Amino acid sequence: MIRDILIHPDPRLKKPCEPIAAVTAEISALASDMLETMYDAPGIGLAAPQVGVMKRLIVMDCIKDGPPEPMALLNPLVLWSSEDLASYEEGCLSIPDQYAEVKRPSSVKVGWMDLNGTQQERIFSGLWATCVQHEIDHLDGKLFIDYLGPLKRQMITRKMEKLKRERARSGSDY
C-alpha cells in the first residue's frame, strides 16, 4: 500500500522517534508499504516519520542501474563516522523539488536490526552513506535544510508552506 508522504513543515518531521522493541506483523507491513511508497515517489530512501509513523525504521535502495537492493533498517545507529567528508546535492521527499549541497562523513558504520530480528552491521560509502545519514536524521527530527543557513532554510520553508496551501486549495491528495 502506498502511503501519503508528509510535507515540511509538519510537527511530526521535527520530533525524535521511538525505538522498535520487536519485529511484529505491523512493523513488517509498514516496511513493505514504505518500500512501495519510496519506489513509487520515486526516491532512494524513506523514514517512518515521513509517513506519519513515529518509529525508528528506515528503508533504502541506492542502486541506480542493476537489480534492486531494498533494505529495511530498524533502530539504525551510526557506530563510526569517517573523518573525511563528502558533499552531495541532497533532496527530500518531504521537501519536493528543493535541493542543496550538504557535507557529511563519506563513510559510516551502521548497526541495525533486520526484519528477521537479527542484528546487522555494515560500512556504507558513497550515495549509500549520504542516504543512510539523511534517513537516520529523519528519525531524530532533523531535515537536510537544518544544515543550511537560516535565510536559505527560511526561503525553502516558505516555498513549502505555499505548496501546502495550494495543494489544500486544489483538493489534491498528494
Q: Which whole-number Å values give the CA distances from 37 to 12, 32, 41, 82, 123, in the listed order?
A: 18, 9, 6, 31, 26
Candidate list 92, 110, 136, 145; residue touching Zn ion; CB under 5 A: 92
Catalytic residue among 69, 135, 161, 166: 135
97, 102, 107, 108 alpha-carbon torsion, rounded to 10°:
-80
Q: Tell me the sheet residues that pair with 118.
A: none
Candidate list 9, 70, 91, 111; residue touching ligand K1U; CB under 6 A: 91
Query: Does residue 51 belong to the site contacting Zn ion (CB under 5 A)?
Result: no
Query: Active site includes 135?
Result: yes
Phi, psi of 66 (to 5 degrees): 105, 180
Binding to ligand K1U (CB under 6 A): which residues in 92-111? 92-94
Task: Give me the DSSP letters along 121-143.
Answer: EEEEEHHHHHHHHHHHHHHTT--
| Closer residue to ligand K1U in complex, CB, 68/117 | 68
Query: Does residue 135 belong to the site contacting ligand K1U (CB under 6 A)?
Result: yes
Q: Give residues in contact with ligand K1U (CB under 6 A).
A: 42-47, 88, 90-94, 130-131, 134-135, 138
Q: Which residues carry out catalysis?
A: 135
